[in-house]
Amino acid sequence: QLPTGLYKKVLVILHDTVLPYMNEPTLMMDFLTVAYGIGGAISLLALNGLFILIHQHNLEYPDFYKKLYNLLDPSIYHVKYRARFFHLTDLFLSSSHLPAYLVAAFIKRLSRLALTAPPEALLVVIPFICNLFRRHPACKVLVHRPSGPGDISEDPYIMEEEEPSESRALESSLWEIQSLQNHYHPDVAKAAAVLNQSLSEMEDDISGLLELSGYELFDKEVKKKATDVPLEFEQIRGLFGKKNDIFAEHFSLD
């Protein structure tokens, strides 16, 4: 039982300063699998070491994707290890041999969690989801269902289900991304609108977005130069300033 702080320090450096110099890196299998099962930031940090053991030393981990799926909670968009997590998750989901139900479960869970994510995280996760659609065309039914939207009266996706195969993600739709098309940040709304069109075959490079911070987004907006200055405006009516705003019937700005 290691202290949490020590666990994190070990796992941060394990994959590049310990494993490459061990004669038998497989000796770390038990340590990493136990760390991966702890949950939270420790599980995120254990991904690096597990990735090396799985890809270079033939580690078999039957419940790996189930545990990775259950790591997806609201905190992944806020932790300081977010860039590392999305980079590794992108690698783990890069194989075209993964079943459609598994990838659809990841897409749907990421989309649901995106409803409460900050803009800098959304600018990463939306291209991330688009890349998953490019790799796994069978999942496009989440965006364009051939039988039409009338078949879904309510979302069948079960968010609380820990087993991806039982989450019913393939029966659902990505109404969450459509909601983000009305996001207050214009860059997020523009990124979400990409799913309204047919996706290009070339994957988006998300490496430059992984370290994006809220400060950088704010700084970019502040430094923008206004080219067109509106000379007329429509007088505000109602709480949110829209003509047919239902709030205008119940609230007044006076």
The tens digit of pLDDT for each residue in 102-114 reads 999 999 999 999 9
The arithmetic mean of pLDDT across residues 123-143, rounded, is: 88
- Find all residues with CB under 8 Å of 2, minimum gap 6, and list them: 10
pLDDT of residue 241: 60
CA 90-92-94 angle, 5° bins: 65
Q: At what angle are helices 4-17 and 29-38 packed, to 10 degrees?
A: 130
Indicate the pTM of the whole model.
0.74
The tens digit of pLDDT for each residue in 49-68 reads 888 888 777 777 777 888 88
The tens digit of pLDDT for each residue in 76-104 reads 888 777 888 888 888 888 887 888 899 99
The tens digit of pLDDT for each residue in 33-47 reads 888 877 777 888 888
The arithmetic mean of pLDDT across residues 118-136, rounded, is: 89
